A = this chain, B = another copy of it.
Amino acid sequence: MVGLGQCCWDQVGLVEQWPHPDAKTELLASCEQAGGPVATALVTLARLGVRTAFFGAVGGDEAGRLIRWSLVAEGVDCRLLQVDPEGESQRAWVIADRTTGKRNIFWKRGARRPFHLTDETAELIAAAKVLLLDDLDFDAALAAARAAREAGVTTVLDGGSLRPRTAELLPLIDHLVVSEKFARQWTGRPEPPAALEPLAAFGGTVTVTAGAEGCWSLLAGEVIHQPAFGVDVIDTTGCGDVFHGGYVFGLLQAWPLPAVLAFASACAALKARGLGGQAAIAGLDETLRFLARETGDIRWTTLRITE
């Protein structure tokens, strides 16, 4: 599968409790790692054993080198990563609150040439089974979604927040998997299940994730809910990104939607055990054993997995 979108260098700090403004707070722990919705989803898929290629852009700075090295170390194909030698990479500072499990992300786009679709990228997209997108670099996302649609490649959009031109992209999307915030911005409905129907008007499968509340989806017109799995939460940074990785894994297996959602939720929950968006992402065996244990359904460990 291939992914096109954001990659980022994250510095993550853990605090006992979210401070009032105007405070000085000593961090309990900190770390640095690659992040970004699509990049993190691809790391998830790589750890699950899927061959992945990443399309995105970095600057010629230290953060760009760190992002590339760390994706390559995970086995993500970065040969078509675009490096703007004069440009800056996207960066984020994340403060994770140990008490609530919530995180606050401060990010910086970084001035650099946006990713542009090349012939080589378009060919790889057309040859893939699934294309995962976010829409920060909108022009590239639109061109990629068109190339995918033409070639009959399944498209998945990670909608984090509504952006000015998101609506143009939707007709080219098969699976829309969005955050609560996106659902609220798009539909004006604060409750995720109530947002599903208006969202579904775009034509494909729609899922809204809502943190510890789990996720909601529409299956043959019926609302289905997958609760979040219980883990000892350290940090929920990247849970949504990892959820998307697990969701794409389920699509590649051609599982029914409820199994896709359960699997994606398990991936996301396991991630929350560690600090930062990627450190604690689990491999396939661990995820399936976790699912079998949590659901009491032993079939998770006897599945035949196809590449």
Contact = CB atoms under 8 A, between A and B. Distances in A.
Interface of A: 11, 13, 15, 18-19, 21-27, 30, 93, 95, 97, 100, 102-109, 160-161, 211
Contacts of A26: 107-109
14 contacts: A11-B11, A11-B93, A18-B21, A21-B100, A22-B102, A22-B103, A22-B211, A24-B161, A25-B106, A25-B107, A27-B106, A27-B108, A30-B108, A95-B106
Contacts of A95: 93, 106
Contacts of A23: 104-105
Contacts of A24: 105, 107, 160-161
B107 A21 contact: no
A288 to B, nearest CB: 30
A102 B19 CA distance: 13
Pick from A18, A95, A104, A106 the residue with the most CB of B within 10 Å. Answer: A106
A154 B26 CA distance: 31
Nearest to A101: B22
Contacts of A211: 22
A108 B13 contact: yes
Given A13-B106, A24-B161, A27-B106, 13 more contacts: A11-B93, A13-B108, A21-B97, A21-B100, A22-B102, A24-B160, A25-B104, A25-B106, A26-B107, A26-B109, A27-B107, A93-B93, A95-B106
